Amino acid sequence: MQCQWFVPLARLLLNPVRGFKFRNRRLTLRCSVESCHEHRCAQKDGMLATGWQVAGKGGDALRCATRIFQFPVGLRIPRRPLTLYLARPSTVPAACVVLLKDSFMGSARHFHPLRHPAFQSTDMAKKRPRRPLPASAADQGEALAAALKLHQHGQFPRAEKAYGKILLLDSKNAVVHHLLGRLYFQTDRRDAAIAALQQAVVLQPEYPDALLDLANMLHEVGSLTQAENCLHQLIRLRPEHALALNNLGVLYKDQQRFDEAIGAYRSSLQLDACNAEVLCNLAHALTCIDDLEGAVQTYRRVLDLEPASVEAHRCLVSLLRRAGQHAEAIEILSSWLELEPDNPVARHLVSAGSRTEVPQRASDEYVRDVFDKFAVTFEADLARLKYRGPLIVEQALTRELGSPEPLPSVLDAGCGTGLCGPVLRPFAQRLVGVDISRKMLEVAGQRRLYDELVEAELGDYLSRQSSLFDLIASADTFGYFGDLAALFLSAHAALVPGGLLLATIELSSDASELGYHLQSSGRYCHDRNYVSGSCEAAGFTIRNLVDDVLRVEAEQDVRVVVLAAQK
């Protein structure tokens, strides 16, 4: 008589694992049994005493110690892979679970309740059983398809639970770990998402989709070196992966490694020459190294592929104007406006080329469109332009208010992605941010610095506030307003008596009858005298007008005046 268990049965009975508590569980001992003789099965005080006789090494008989398990009366121990239905845990010894696979050790959650006729006489019959987990590969495939459907329909809690059930049976399923990583990322659990994707890659190193998603997530959280390593691993695995090469170029660009970025983009285009997105990325990188001719040619290729591309038109017009090719810029704008007469970006840039029909401010549609598209790369682009907005605001706060003493209510007017949030937070008991771009606000929200974020056009928002804010700070937002009179009036009404307005306003180098003009970039610049006159006309007392440099464009300083005015 031989009984081939994963470990000797005596080890199960004589070496119990301490601390396990199985409550109303079934415990399946997987084994291969040639013969198993039930030595005794007798009822004793409502309990069954069972024992087994097995052969030890060399054929010596070994009488295993008898263990008392409390079973419902009448339950028969089957002569097949042994299943024990534990009804009352208080008297059940802590049995060793080393018979099961290693992945099942150490956690009672792998044991699930099972309705069995033998339990009808116990209190367990009153409990509703859980649905059994899929056991076969086919069942698991169906379960995965069902979980994926829930995921695709946005039912994240149910999808997560379904993925978890599959992992209970197959903890080494790389696909499920990958999908869980995506789900975690979609529900703003980035650390868990990265951990799940890393597990998928460990389980299946040659898994292109998991490597690509992991690289993107690491890039998103700023782990650029790890993201680069993932992309290199993917490219070694799939040299023809054009998307991986493009993403590597984006990663290089964000690190200002422009030559390497250009090389990666060109490698991607060798595999997919008609990819307009990669061409746009290449043109942008060429612009960064001042290869304006190469950038113009590349944007023209984009327009051949996508004649309605907003980004290509806007960037091409800007480059042509920088190169002094104004006639070509107007021609491009005219053809664009013919294709899309209602496009807010095209209409605004056409206005920027006209000195006679200058709108009083940029349209809401134009500003929203521009910043929704730039939300993801906004901060990287500003870093390349040596943007100093937060520093200028910090210096102005120190100059006007001294050391930080929290004011009751502070407004970040045109907060964007929240770059000024860390500067304003020490000065605010309550910090509110307002911006017209929802996608910019989503990025700002990730900083967790603001008490409230409002999606609204700035002038309209201020006009609906009355004596609410102690401080209004605005960095690089007034550039989308030409006529400042209405904006100053609304800001004055929104401040409490004695409240302070701080704003950076781009200065014009050319005199204008209006006091402002619309530049080819699509932003307004203002005369210094016009700024001070409009501010005082709204009822403010000007405390300071300080010249400074906000950023650098085309190797030229963009000069601003820093306004500090009190109600």
Residues 282 and 232 in one domain: yes
Please indicate, yes or no, if residue 452 is contained in any of the structural domains.
yes
Residues 334 and 198 in one domain: yes
Q: Does position 528 have pLDDT exceeding 80, yes or no? A: yes
Q: Does position 30 have pLDDT exceeding 70, yes or no? A: no
Three-state secondary structure string covering 472-485: EEECCCHHHECCCH
**Confidence (pLDDT) at 383:** 82
Judge whether 488 and 540 are in contact, CB under 8 Å. Answer: yes
Name residue 110's amino acid.
H
How far apart CA 456 and CA 472 sit, in angstroms, is 16
Please indicate, yes or no, if residue 114 is contained in any of the structural domains.
yes
Q: pLDDT tens digit string along 242-257?
A: 999 999 999 999 888 9
Q: Does position 11 have pLDDT exceeding 70, yes or no? A: no
Q: Which long-range contacts (CB under 8 A, 24 or more apart) does 452-458 make?
A: 453/415, 457/364, 457/367, 458/413, 458/414, 458/434, 458/487
How far apart CA 431 and CA 413 sit, in angstroms, is 11
Judge whether 348 and 362 are in contact, CB under 8 Å. Answer: yes
Residues 431 and 319 in one domain: no
Residues 423 and 539 in one domain: yes
Q: Note down the domain range covering 35.
A: 3-126
Banded pLDDT at 438 (limits 50, 70, 90): very high
Question: What is the residue whose two structure tokens read 């010894």?
Answer: 93
**Residue 319 corresponds to which tokens in the numbers above?**
């480059």
Q: pLDDT tens digit string along 348-379?
A: 888 776 665 778 899 999 999 889 888 877 88
Q: Does position 44 have pLDDT exceeding 50, yes or no? A: no
Last residue of a domain, one of 92, 126, 160: 126
Q: Does position 237 have pLDDT exceeding 50, yes or no? A: yes
Q: Is 126 helix (H, G, I), strand (E, B) or coil?
A: helix
pTM, entire model: 0.56
Last residue of a domain, one of 311, 328, 363: 363
**Residue 477 corresponds to which tokens in the numbers above?**
């937002």
Q: What is the DSSP string of 309-358?
A: -HHHHHHHHHHHHHTT-HHHHHHHHHHHHHH-TT-HHHHHHHHHT-SSS-
Three-state secondary structure string covering 213-244: HHHHHHHHCCCHHHHHHHHHHHHHHCCCCHHH
Q: What is the DSSP string of 31-97?
A: -EES---EEEEEEETTEEEEEEEEE-GGG-EEEPPPEEE---TT----SSS-EEE---GGG------
Residues 297 and 333 in one domain: yes
Q: pLDDT tens digit string along 168-222?
A: 888 999 999 999 999 999 998 999 999 999 999 999 999 999 999 999 999 988 8
Please indicate, yes or no, if residue 82 is contained in any of the structural domains.
yes
Residues 435 and 471 in one domain: yes
Residues 308 and 390 in one domain: no
Q: What is the dihedral of CA 352, 357, 362, 365, to 10 degrees?
A: -100
**Residue 46 corresponds to which tokens in the numbers above?**
């409502």
Judge whether 344 and 369 are in contact, CB under 8 Å. Answer: yes
How far apart CA 266 and CA 282 sit, in angstroms, is 8
Residues 6+ apart with CB under 8 A from 60: none
User: Taking the mean position of all CA atoms in its chain, how far away is CA 440?
Assistant: 13
Please indicate, yes or no, if residue 30 is contained in any of the structural domains.
yes
Q: Does position 52 have pLDDT exceeding 70, yes or no? A: no
Read off the CATH number of the domain in which 472 is found: 3.40.50.150
Burial 530-541 (b: 16+ CB within 10 A, else e): bbbebbeebebe
Between 552 and 267, the more confident residue is 267
Judge whether 287 and 271 are in contact, CB under 8 Å. Answer: no
Q: Does position 106 have pLDDT exceeding 60, yes or no? A: no
Name residue 559's amino acid.
R
Name residue 175's amino acid.
V
CA angle 519, 525, 527 (to 5 degrees): 135
Residues 76 and 157 in one domain: no
Helix, strand, coil percentages, rounded to 5, for the chain: 50, 15, 35
Residues 401 and 428 in one domain: yes
Please indicate, yes or no, if residue 339 is contained in any of the structural domains.
yes
**Confidence (pLDDT) at 354:** 64
Banded pLDDT at 414 (limits 50, 70, 90): very high
Please indicate, yes or no, if residue 376 is contained in any of the structural domains.
no
Judge whether 272 and 278 are in contact, CB under 8 Å. Answer: yes
Judge whether 535 and 507 are in contact, CB under 8 Å. Answer: no
Q: pLDDT tens digit string along 134-161?
A: 555 567 788 888 988 999 889 999 999 9
Question: What is the residue whose two structure tokens read 């706060």?
Answer: 397
Read off the CATH number of the domain in which 209 is found: 1.25.40.10
Q: What is the DSSP string of 434-496?
A: EES-HHHHHHHHTT---SEEEES-HHHHHHT--S-EEEEEESS-GGGBS--HHHHHHHHHHEE
**Confidence (pLDDT) at 343:** 82
Residues 103 and 251 in one domain: no
Q: Comparing 124-128, 292-296, 502-506, which segment has the lowest mean pLDDT? A: 124-128
Please indicate, yes or no, if residue 373 is contained in any of the structural domains.
no
| Structural domain total, the chain | 3
Banded pLDDT at 489 (limits 50, 70, 90): very high
Between the two ends of the chain, the Cα-to-Cα distance in Å is 99
Last residue of a domain, one of 60, 95, 126: 126
Mean pLDDT of the chain: 77
Residues 149 and 60 in one domain: no
- What percent of the chain shows pLDDT beyond 70? 75
Residues 357 and 392 in one domain: no
Name residue 302's amino acid.
V
**Confidence (pLDDT) at 512:** 75
Average pLDDT over residues 470-476: 97
